[in-house]
Amino acid sequence: MAEWASNFCDLFYKCFIKEDRYKLLLSGIGVTIKVSLLAIVIGILIGMLIALCNLSKKRILKIIGGIYTDIIRGTPSVTQLMIIYFVIFASVNLDKWIIAAIAFGINSGAYVSEIIRAGIMSIDKGQTEAGRSLGLSAYQTMTRIVIPQAVKNIFPALCNEFIVLIKETAIVGYVGLMDIQKAGDFIKSATFIAFMPLIGTAVIYYVLIKILTLLLGRIEARLRKSDAR
């Protein structure tokens, strides 16, 4: 037991303490959080627009929404990231993490659009008819009556999408960003030790997602309390 503990401490020192390698992981946490937060904001905005296109009675808008959703959901996120970084934004002077966030936001938008569309369709049609009977326009009825009710229904699914998005950002190393996973890979290459860096990155991701799950759970509980009033 004492020997195992000594070996563990030795590995921990070599991987995280020696040459301040832990700072790579701290920097990686910052990158992961920045990319994820901006990506989810972009994803929600795009998702809302595409959901409205898919629900529209205009054929051209439905076609646009359908093509976008079909292409994004039918291609790997890593391929989309590399196309957006190395092709679309190749000559644009933007920080790498912003381009990565845009790529993940575009990807997330397709899934968020389906979440929002399902949430809007779950609202009873009588709510829409009531809004129109009060003299509200279709836009006013949607933004003031339907969407506020749909938000409560789709919030858990949006939380799940955010959690998935955080884990998906582990591929940003393909475009040279030093996120959590890339930092762990760098430590693994520098020390020739696989176990400790991999376990370290797994623990960091777990803690981040656990904290996020608890925070989002509290927000959801408050939303449910307002329903009970």
The domain spans of the chain are 23-167
In this model, does residue 180 exceed pLDDT 90? yes
**pLDDT the model gives residue 152:** 81
CB 177 within 8 A of CB 96: yes
Q: Which residues contact 118 (CB under 8 A, 6 or more apart)?
A: 154, 157
CB 149 within 8 A of CB 127: yes
What would the mean pLDDT of 51-69 be, rounded to a whole number? 92
H or E segment and range at residue 25 = helix 22-55
SS3 for the chain, per residue? CHHHHHHHHHHHHHHHHHHHCHHHHHHHHHHHHHHHHHHHHHHHHHHHHHHHHHHCCCHHHHHHHHHHHHHHHCCCHHHHHHHHHHHHCCCCCCCHHHHHHHHHHHHHHHHHHHHHHHHHHCCCHHHHHHHHHCCCCHHHHHHHHHHHHHHHHHHHHHHHHHHHHHHHHHHHHHHCCCCHHHHHHHHHHHHCCCHHHHHHHHHHHHHHHHHHHHHHHHHHHHHHHHHHC
C-alpha radius of gyration, the chain, whole number: 22
In this model, does residue 227 exceed pLDDT 70? no
**Average pLDDT over all residues of the chain:** 90
**pLDDT the model gives residue 77:** 94
Task: Please name the CATH architecture into which domain 23-167 falls.
Answer: Orthogonal Bundle (1.10)
What would the mean pLDDT of 150-166 be, rounded to a whole number? 89
Calpha distance 108→115 (Å, rounded): 11
CA-based nearest residue to 168, from 22, 24, 43: 43
**pLDDT the model gives residue 220:** 83
* Residue 167, burial from CB neighbour count under 10 angstroms (0-12, 13-18, 19+): middle
**pLDDT the model gives residue 127:** 75
Q: Look at the pTM and tell me if it is higher than 0.85.
A: yes
Tokens 């910052």 -> residue? 30
CA distances from 187 to 4, 74, 167, 176, 192 (A): 22, 34, 19, 15, 8
Positive or negative CA dihedral for 86, 92, 96, 101?
negative
Tokens 């960003």 -> residue? 177
pLDDT digits (tens, 9 = 90+) for 112-150: 999 999 888 888 877 777 777 777 777 778 777 787 788
- Percentage, residues of the chain above pLDDT 70: 98
